Structure 1
Amino acid sequence: MKFPIKLLVVAVAISFTACKGGDKKENKNENKTEYADAGNDDANEIVEYNNVLVSLTDQNNAYLKRVDENLQKISKALMNPDNRFAFMGIVSPYSSSSFSHSKLKPETPPSALSNDDQKYFKENVAGLNETLAKIKDTYKTLDDYIKAEDWKDDKSAKGNKLIDSIYSMSKTYYTYDENLLAKLEVIGDDAERIVLKTHPLKEYIFAMKDDRKAAGDFNKLIIGTKNFKADEGKIKSAYESLTAQNTKHTDMDAPDAAKFPSKDGSFKTFNESFKDYLIEAKKAIRDA
């Protein structure tokens, strides 16, 4: 079966993570990488780059979710093309460009990162962008195919082939995506712990980081399974843990709206988005 292109689409601007300042004291007991002892300026630069990349992947995920929703509709329509209403309500997905005040760009990692890590990010961002461009081009071909009603000539053969191609490319895309986020998880976490050591919202920031990590791990588990029946117990157990984590974080008191304007709403929105993700995950488990 085909799982959704991406289960996790928390397309929320996580403004909590875009913070500056912090404590310059070292924390040598929690070293994970060479960045755990970074100076405050380097840590801020790494955090800023983290935010830029997360913003890019969130923007792409929002687009790919819309593509996936359309592919599911188109796939059903191609199986029943004689239904004159089959292709109605399918709107071409749009890809918006996120606005950023940062001088950093996804394609240009900061000098605060080692040469090896800069090379790693450059290569994976390039792969990410190139694959997304191919997905967009292929979807455009599919869209033209549907509008021209070419499915009448080949009994939907090319349409189904294009859909399979997009799903295949999406797997490549999310390989790059997971590579980037996995690297950021460690590097960004070390840098953020330096910057956020005394930040009043750190418990909320790390609650959301924990949710992102847990959801990413669950994506790998459910999308990567080759034998759902064999992995069913492990998958359902992981889902229950996700649900419990969401309940725990939803029950947290929201940030003080008077002291931190809009942060209370952002935190609540994130938790609601995570709950939407849980619904999609549950549907995927049921379908499997």
Structure 2
Amino acid sequence: MKKIIILAMALSLTTVSVSCKKAVNKLGNKVLNLGGTEEANAIIEFNNNLIDSYKNTSKHIERVLKYTEAAAAKSKGENVMIMPIVLSAMDHSFSRIKGVPSGFGKDKAAIEADFTTYKTKKENIEKKFEELKSYMNSEDYKDDRGAKAEMIRKEIETEANAFYISGENLMAKIKPATDAAEEVILKDHPMKEYIISSKKVMNSLDSVIEVLGKQYTGKFNEAEAQKKYDEFAKVAEANSKMEFNVKDQQYAYKKSQFENFNKYASNFLDTYRKLIRDSKEAGKIPDSNIEQIDSSYESVLSAYNSFVN
């Protein structure tokens, strides 16, 4: 089975600050097709909820895929000591999405089409998974020697691939409007320069994750990995050298959060160096290293979101 790696896309997604909401100016109206502040905020909230949903659902699907592999093997008589545990998917962010905001203008219909596919595939995977669990729990595989388990495994893999494609299409289509909305909303914000600089760090980090995700499924390329390391180190260092000097006292507490973000970015570099060294020796990226990168990335992302929110 072709292994689907969620790291490259699902984890390399950064939410936009929704607390920095201000009136949308004429530039925003022109760029975003907006009629007012509510539509600008609706785009950002749609972006944030979709990203959270995509990340959480992708992780859940990865666990489901591991279960299907084990189920197919066990049903054929292979030795499977312990079946993977898959907890119920709790996707509160998805439930907050009531529709595609009108502010996306001419792109709204295309976004709606991808969102419909996203929702359908998400639901189909869950239904197929429940069907497979019932089949395994009742040990019906003893009647057909695992034929149904293999069939469902292939169906879930197909649905999962379609889910990831629709998710990636959505991310690409909503990004331009979301970026424009964010810049407009941040126009007069006291922390604008620090938020924009920190987002550059996250964008570079996302690029690192995308490259490592691809190399994890293929061959490790030390030169490419090192290049991304150098790029990220450069922007991370520049951000850490910024002196947090915001005159508005209501943002004074943000200084420690800004410093915390930079600390976790530095920690990521430590983890990244270890990955390059270990991968060079192994000729591929080891599972343990990709898990460490995953955990470190989540720490940086959490610190970033705490700072900008």
Q: Provide the TM-score with structure 2 as the length reference.
A: 0.63
Match 1:35 to one of 31, 37, 43: 31
User: 1:158 & 1:86 partners in 2: Cα distance?
Assistant: 20
CA distance in 1, matches of 2:238, 2:153: 37
Q: Give the deviation of 1:147 after TM superposition.
A: 1.9
Cα deviation digits, residues 151-188 of structure 1 (max 9, x gap): 44444443344233323222212222222221222111
Q: Hey, what's the Cα distance between the residues in 2 that align with 1:245 and 1:161?
A: 49
Whether the 8 Å contact between 1:142 and 1:162 is mirrored in structure 2 is: yes
Aligned residue pair count: 270
Structure with bigger RCO (C-alpha 8 Å, 6+ apart): 1
Q: Are residues 24 and 84 of structure 1, via their aligned partners in 2, closer, same or farther at CA, if it must alter by over 3 Å?
A: closer
Q: Determine if the alignment matches structure 1 residue 95 to structure 2 residue 90.
A: yes
What aligned pairs does 1:4-83 form with structure 2 within 5 A after superposition? Answer: 4-10=5-11, 14=15, 16-21=17-22, 24=25, 26=27, 34-35=30-31, 42=36, 45-76=39-70, 78-79=72-73, 83=79
Residues 22 and 185 of structure 2 are in contact (CA less than 8 Å); yes or no, is this contact kept in structure 1?
yes
Contact kept? 2:115, 2:166, Cα under 8 Å: yes
Partners in 2 of 1:263 and 1:134 — Cα distance?
A: 45
Q: Which residue identity does 1:35 align to in structure 2?
A: V
Matched, 1:286 2:277: no
Instruction: Please say if residues 111 and 170 of structure 2, whose CA atoms lie closer than 8 Å, have aligned partners that are also in contact.
Output: yes
- Any unmatched runs of 5+ in structure 1? 28-32
**Quick one: distance in 2 between partners of 1:270 and 1:73?**
38
- How much has 1:106 moved relative to structure 2? 5.0
Give the number of the structure whose residues are more often helix, by fraction. Answer: 2
> Deviation per CA, 1:85-120, whole angstroms, max 9, x where unpaired?
422x613332332398x8xx452322x332x22212
**How far 1:221 moved relative to its partner?**
8.7
Cα distance change, pair 265–213 in 1 and its aligned pair in 2 (3 A): same
Distance 1:166 1:48 in 2: 33
* 1:259 paired to 2:251: yes
Which residue matches 1:109?
101
Counterparts of 2:152 and 2:262, CA distance in 1 = 34
Please give the alpha-carbon distance, in whole angstroms, between the structure 2 residues aligned to 1:191 and 1:272: 27
Q: Which of these residues, 123, 129, 132, is aligned with residue 139 of structure 1? A: 129
Q: Aligned-pair RMSD on alpha carbons?
A: 4.8
Residues of 2 paired with 1:86 and 1:142: CA distance? 16
Instruction: Report matched runs for 1:101-250 at 5 Å.
Output: 105=97, 107-110=99-102, 112-114=103-105, 116-203=106-193, 205-206=195-196, 207-208=198-199, 211=202, 215=206, 219=210, 222-223=213-214, 228-229=218-219, 232=221, 236-237=225-226, 239-240=228-229, 244=233, 247-248=236-237
Measured after TM superposition, the shift of residue 65 of structure 1 is: 0.4
> 2:14·2:202 contact (CA, 8 Å) conserved in 1?
no
Q: Give, in angstroms, the shift of residue 266 of structure 1.
A: 9.7
| Mapped partners of 1:121, 1:210: distance in 2 | 28
* TM-fit CA distance, 1:137: 1.4
Partner Cα separation in structure 2 for residue 186 and residue 195 of structure 1: 14
Deviation (angstroms), 1:74: 4.9
Relative to structure 1, the CA distance from residue 194 to residue 15 in structure 2 (aligned partners, 3 Å threshold; closer, same or farther) is: closer
1:214/1:125 CA distance change after superposition, 3 Å: farther
- After superposition, what is the alpha-carbon deviation per residue over 1:44-66, rounded to whole angstroms, capped at 9, x for unaligned? 52343232233133124213303
Q: Is the 8 A contact 2:9 2:168 kept in 1?
A: no
